[in-house]
Amino acid sequence: MKTGDALPRWAPPVAAMALVLLIDTVLFPSFFQIRLVDGRPTGSLVDVLIRGMPVALLALGMAGVIATRGIDLSVGAVMAIAGAVAANALAGGAPWTTAVLCALAAGLACGLWNGMLVAFLKLQPIVATLVLMVAGRGIAQLVTGGQITTFDDASFAALAGGTIFAIPAPILIVAVAALLLTLLVRFTALGLMVEAIGVNPRAAELVGINTRSIILAVYALSGVTAALAGIIATADIRGADANNAGLWLELDAILVVVLGGGSLLGGRLSYGLTLVGAITLQAIKTGILLAGLPPQMGLILMAVMVSVLLVVQAPALQQRLHRRTLRKAAS
Amino acid sequence: MTGQNRTLLVTIVVLAALFAFCAWQFPFVLSARVIGNLLTDNAFLGMLAIGMTVVIISGGIDLSVGSVLAFSAVLLSVLITKRGVDPTFAFVIVLGIGTAFGALQGAAVHVLRAPAFIVTVAGMFLARGVCFLLTEDSIPISSSAYQRLTDVGLPLGGGGHVTLSALILLASVALTAELLRRTRFGANVYALGGDRRAAELMGVPAGATTACIYAFSGFMAAAGGILYSLYTQSGYPLAGVGLELDAIAATIIGGTLLAGGYGSVWGTALGVLILGLIQLYITLEGTLSSWVAKIATGALLLFFIGAQKLFSQSSFGPRLFARLSVRGGLNHALSTEQPQ
């Protein structure tokens, strides 16, 4: 939509984030205060950022998948698998670098599996990734032997709890990942190709885009970012919980992408706005806790949020707005 | 033989093989008691899966059913235990709310043109959230009428019973199969799943049908909640977490195409029995942990999705042939043009 007075694409997500942060500040005046305690920043905002990072990572991978009009339901299960693999390697005495590499490799393998089903067997994304969503937690339990595998490795735990130049490690990991991905898709034609597939897969193929490879790549990337999220979650609790790691986070990740202005009908990709969406969601969750509301209200509030987003994104409403702006322009 | 019939055949073969394997390992599985229990234990899942099948045939998906089941069971326990409402009246209230909730979701899917998946995720959050608002603990249902309902059943011989839950499940399967096969509504469901635009152009009332489809799924989820409360004699807000995935899995294993347009409720009933048998085997084996069920379900899903892909392609033989002959005709036309 290139009408004269249409809002830029980044405006609604950023406005939503600003609104949520404003409400949080009203409820809790010291929301933006950041204090350095023993060289680590503390405060509600820092808490929002750190807590939101695993979902933000999932959402970074999900953003690419959704931009191709796909969906990846398996990210939560992949988190559990990666966490189980990492914890297992550490418990076996492997150094933390090996554990991280093993977990990332497991995530990549899961992502390639999904991508293969979607790109080469032409399965619907929701069906293809459902298989791993159902079986993935079983695989994770297979790796951990049904127990919560714990480990004692300070370097690995630092991936969640450590700081570099007073910046908590998870925030740094997500920022670097988002920056690299943005550079990758905006300084090459990749981003354009991904969006082209989302807008019209057949047209994209006809103009010569290698749709299969790109679809395979976005799912592989989603597997890797999910593995990263799994590593951080595992490092955070110093153990792998195959049953609960990343449970239902796939829904959070999808919601974050939509909050960041992504459309489930594909064709929109922005890693920066996805991060904005992640902060918005976590700020809402933290706000509910700060306001003293029961955490179950979070579920209802998320339902309300999804409903509002759906109404705003509805084609009927968009068309009506579009027509109104056209009429204004004519008169 | 159509592709759908062939996938149904695969389902039957898998069920028979699984049953034979269980009976070989544990001979007492063949008893009427175990078979009766298999139906009772999976009755609530079956109800969800029946509703899910209708939704999936129409090309949609309903992720809210597990939460609606929990909500219904919790509301029942609150109404009956805390408010002293008559169980029959409570059933009517719960079924009414479930149906209205489903209709609302269906209307949203149609009016907002939103993916069914995301609309019903909102419904899932909402129903689960309301569950927790009603209660955070498990509430037992202490009603003598309730106790009597679970004792009702047809004797099956050999100490087995077809309980009320199992009877309701079987009746629901038969009625829904007739609904899909013999009514205009059923034809509309298949038409919408086959090709939505074509169906609308042919005069299928897409909006009303979509609302009815999701209302039906909501009704079945609420009925599943009633059966679940009969089964556990309580209402627990965390009940049925992830049950929607089992319902989807049972539907796919039963031969329904997730893309819509194909499928049958009878297949779904068999799919539910397959999932129930896997669970039964794991319980009987005793040393296996729950991850075996998850991996087995995932593997079965993959197997059936692959089989559908294969069969639907070969059953579209005529279409493939038409495509090839068009291409051949074009080549012919091109080659005849060239000499000039």
The CA-CA-CA angle for residues A47, A49, A50, to 5°, reads 65
The answer to whether B73 and B239 are in contact (CB under 8 A) is yes
Separation in Å, CA of B313 to nearest CA in chain A = 12
Residue A84 has pLDDT above 60, yes or no: yes
Question: What is the DSSP annotation of A39-102?
Answer: TEEESHHHHHHHHHHHHHHHHHHHHHHHHTT---TTHHHHHHHHHHHHHHHHHTT--HHHHHHH
- Residue A324: what pLDDT? 78
Query: Count of H helices and E strands in chain A?
Result: 14, 6
pLDDT tens digits, one per residue of A301-328: 878 877 887 787 777 777 777 777 777 7
* Substitution target from A306, A308, A317, A320 for chain B, most B beta carbons within 10 A: A306
Radius of gyration of chain B (CA): 22
For residue B123, the chain A residue with the least C-alpha distance is: A303
pLDDT digits (tens, 9 = 90+) for A230-289: 999 999 888 888 777 777 788 889 888 988 888 877 888 889 999 999 998 888 888 887
Q: Is the CB of A298 inside 8 Å of chain B's CB atoms?
A: yes
Give the pLDDT of residue B158. Answer: 67
CA distance B115 to chain A (A): 8
CA-nearest residue to A305 within chain B is B122
Within a 10 A sphere around the Cβ of A12, how many other Cβ atoms?
17
d(CA A91, CA A96): 10
C-alpha count within 13 angstroms, C-beta hemisphere, residue B121: 20
Q: What angle do CA B12, B18, B21 make, to 5 degrees?
A: 140
Task: Answer whether residue A182 shows pLDDT above 80.
Answer: yes
Residue A22 tokens read as: 């404003």
Contacts of B259 (CB under 8 A, 6+ apart): A124, B59, B193
B114 to A314: CB separation less than 8 angstroms, yes or no: yes
Find the mean pLDDT for residues A7-13. 76
A95: pLDDT strictly greater than 60: yes
pLDDT of res. A173:
92
Contacts of B221 (CB under 8 A, 6+ apart): B47, B48, B51, B62, B64, B65, B66, B68, B69, B72, B98, B102
pLDDT at residue A44 is higher than 90 = no
Could you tell me which of B219, B234, B241 has the C-alpha nearest to residue B76? B234
In chain A, which residues have their Cβ closer than 8 Å to the Cβ of B108? 307, 310
Q: Alpha carbon of B42 to those of A141, A328, B148, B243: distances in Å?
A: 24, 60, 20, 11
Distance, in Å, from the CA atom of B140 to the CA atom of A187, rounded to the nearest integer, reads: 61
Give the model's pLDDT for residue B313. 60
Nearest CB neighbour to B122, from listed A134, A298, A307: A307
CA distance B200 to B273: 36
pTM of the shown model: 0.85
Amino acid at A92: G
Query: Inter-chain contact B112–A264, Cβ cutoff 8 Å?
Result: no
Amino acid A287: pLDDT: 83
**Any chain B CB within 8 A of the CB of A263?**
no
Q: Hunting for tokens 């897409």 — which residue is that?
A: B206
Cβ contact (<8 Å) for A130 and B301? yes
Query: How many CA atoms are closer than 13 Å to the CA of A175, on its beta-carbon side?
Result: 9
Looking at residue A243, what DSSP letter applies?
A: T
Query: Does B111 contact chain A (CB < 8 Å)?
Result: yes
Give the pLDDT mean for A147-159: 83
Q: Is the pLDDT of residue A295 over 80?
A: no
Give strand pairing partners of A239. A150
Instruction: Please give chain B's pLDDT, 340 residues, in tens.
Output: 455 567 788 889 989 999 999 889 888 888 888 888 889 899 999 999 999 999 999 999 999 999 999 999 999 999 988 888 888 899 999 999 999 999 999 999 999 888 888 889 889 989 998 988 888 888 888 777 777 777 777 777 666 778 888 999 999 999 999 999 999 999 999 999 988 889 999 989 999 999 999 999 999 999 999 999 988 888 888 888 889 989 999 999 998 888 888 889 999 999 999 999 998 888 888 777 777 888 888 888 888 888 777 766 654 444 444 444 444 444 444 444 433 3
- Centroid of chain to Cα B156: 26
The predicted pLDDT at position B87 comes to 85
Quote the minimal CA–CA distance from B160 to chain A in Å.
33
Q: Which residues of A235-254 are buried (b: 16+ CB within 10 A; e: fewer)?
A: bbbbbbbbeebbbebbbbbb
- Structural domains for chain B: 3-337 (1.10.3470)
Q: Is the pLDDT of residue A193 over 60?
A: yes
**A240 sits in which H/E element:** strand A239-240
Give the pLDDT confidence score for residue B3 in this predicted structure.
Answer: 52
Examine the pLDDT at A2 and tell me if it is beyond 50: no
B55 contact residues in A (CB cutoff 8 A): none
pLDDT at B306: 82
CB B116 within 8 A of CB B217: no
Can you list the positions of beta strands (E) in chain B? 139-140, 153-157, 160-163, 234-235
Give the ipTM.
0.80
**Cβ contact (<8 Å) for A296 and B111?**
no
* pLDDT at residue number A81: 94
pLDDT per residue as tens digits for the range A135-147? 888 899 888 887 7
Q: Are A256 and A309 contacting, i.e. CB atoms less than 8 angstroms apart?
A: no
| pLDDT of A127 over the 50 cut | yes
Averaged pLDDT score across all residues of chain A = 85
